[in-house]
Amino acid sequence: MNQLSLVIILLAALVIPLTMARFKVTFLPTAVVEIIVGVVLGPSLLNLIHMNSTLDLLQNVGVIVLLFLSGMEIDFSLFKRRSTRLSPLEEKDQQNAPKYSVLTIAVMSYLSIMIMSVVMGML
């Protein structure tokens, strides 16, 4: 059964991108569809996949690769502050801009979730 689980996963990883390309499915990223298929095939629904040490290793490597590729998609030039003088219209927009940047809100949200997790873990 261990080998069958690996074959099913590899087959799904091969078939999903090919099927999405064939039917020109562009409204969902391939990684999202693969995650959904993994949930369907896994113990949550169909229970076709049974975990073993090989799949555990592949799972960890897959998460690392997914996070790496997500990081490669970030455009760090968007985080730079502009040093040029703003036009009057841009200055007006700057005054109406939110007080906190999106990055600040994301970091604060992450930290608050981490703090709440630690506090709830101690209860």
Residue 101 has pLDDT above 80, yes or no: no
pLDDT of residue 82: 64
Q: Which two tokens stand for residue 76?
A: 């760090």
Residue 83's pLDDT is 66
| DSSP code string of 31-87 | HHHHHHHHHHHSTTTT------HHHHHHHHHHHHHHHHHHHHT--GGGGSPP-SPPP
Quick one: pLDDT at residue 88? 77
In the prediction, which pLDDT does 4 show?
Answer: 92
Query: What pLDDT, on a 0 to 100 scale, did the predictor assign at position 16?
Result: 94
Euclidean distance between CA atoms 46 and 70, whole angstroms:
29
More confident residue, 105 or 15: 15
Q: What is the mean pLDDT of the chain?
A: 86
Q: 18-77, pLDDT tens digit by residue?
A: 999 999 998 998 889 999 999 999 988 999 998 889 899 988 998 999 889 888 888 877
Q: Which two tokens stand for residue 71?
A: 């990081």
Residues recorded for the chain: 123
Burial of 38 from C-beta contacts in 10 A (0-12 / 13-18 / 19+)? middle
